[in-house]
Structure 1
Amino acid sequence: METISFGIHFLLISMHTFIYRSSFPIKKESLFHFHEDPIGFKTLVGGTKGVEIIKAPKSLQVGEEVILKVTILPFWKQTWIAKHIAYEKNNFFQDNQEQGPFRKFLHTHCFLDSPEGVTSSILSDEIQIDYFLWPISRFFLFPILYFMFRKRHALTAKHFGVKPKLIFCRYS
């Protein structure tokens, strides 16, 4: 799949898109570099309870694969395979679930300029999601996604010694 132009990406957001957006008092290039560096993946995914990393990505480039073993229930684990399908340095990267617990899980990590100036940036995690019994399942998935991305943004901020400021969290 070709890299999606960043401007066009926003036109592709559907009604089943969960968005968690925070501002950070750091440059967007630094925020992107953290995600691009292996320490970013290890920090954000490695410490997650119930997630075992089988294969970590070597980069954010298109074609890289991530394989995780995730605990769904105490007695049920599932393999989750995601592949990076789009990348634009310092602007966004995107991974798509190829196998896993969801019917659809397309995650776009957006790095935006902040209206507060060049020393601030915005991280927007946007997940096009579909799960069994949608739209009912959207209600029990929301708190799971909310707490997961609140923790991920807090861990990102902790890496830089700053605090994130929640801007937006909801389905679009």
Structure 2
Amino acid sequence: MPIFEKRTRIAAPPEKVFAFHEEPDALERLTPPWEQARVVEKTGGIQVGARVVVEVRVGPVPLRWVAEHTQYEAGRMFQDTQRSGPFKRWVHTHRVDPDGAGGSYLTDHVEYELPFGALGRLGGSHFVQRKLERMFDYRHEVTRRACEEAPRP
């Protein structure tokens, strides 16, 4: 099963980085502007049992992506699992760990499986990896900027 992982050091304490992900508009802020994605439903934040429904496009085809939060450790990690959507399987773990110098490491770990078996892997693996790299580069940069900027008076 393919795995994608992105890790970034952020010069902000782990509590601040985790709190950013708990903000009500975090998902919208983390969605790259070039993605054709629209949040249509959210319930419960990021704690276990919370749910989000996003309308995405795979080429010209609109799909609903339903994700449920399946693990939560306050200040440290949360996980969402696709219940239905474009992947055969998708489990996304978000971790925030102290770096030992007052900052933190943000790690997004995604285990996924493409639909259509070998055909899906052959036709989509490279495309999906590139798309994930671009998307998580954007997400980590948005998070870094939001968490490192000085608080407004």
1:45 maps onto 2:31 in alignment: yes
TM-score of the two chains, using structure 2 as the length reference: 0.87
User: How far apart are residue 161 of structure 1 and its match?
Assistant: 4.3
1:112 maps onto 2:97 in alignment: yes
Question: Residue in 1 aligned with 2:112?
Answer: 129
Q: Which residue of 114, 126, 137 corresponds with 1:150?
A: 137
Question: Residue in 1 aligned with 2:128?
Answer: 141
- Unaligned 5+ residue runs, structure 2? none
Q: Match of 2:52, SS?
A: strand
- Separation of aligned partners in 2, 1:87 and 1:130: 23
Q: Which residue of 59, 68, 71 corresponds with 2:54?
A: 68
- Separation of aligned partners in 1, 2:67 and 2:2: 19
User: How far apart are residue 145 of structure 1 and its match?
Assistant: 0.3
Matches within 5 A, 1:24-43: 24-43=10-29
TM-score of the two chains, using structure 1 as the length reference: 0.78
- Separation of aligned partners in 2, 1:124 and 1:161: 17
Share of identical aligned residues, percent? 28
1:96 maps onto 2:81 in alignment: yes
How many residue pairs align between the two structures? 145
AA in 2 matched with 1:28:
P
Q: State the Cα RMSD in Å.
A: 1.7
User: How far apart are residue 19 of structure 1 and its match?
Assistant: 0.4
- Unaligned 5+ residue runs, structure 1? 1-14, 163-172
Give yes or no for contact 1:38–1:58 (8 Å, CA) kept in 2: no
Q: Which residue of 130, 154, 159 corresponds with 2:146?
A: 159
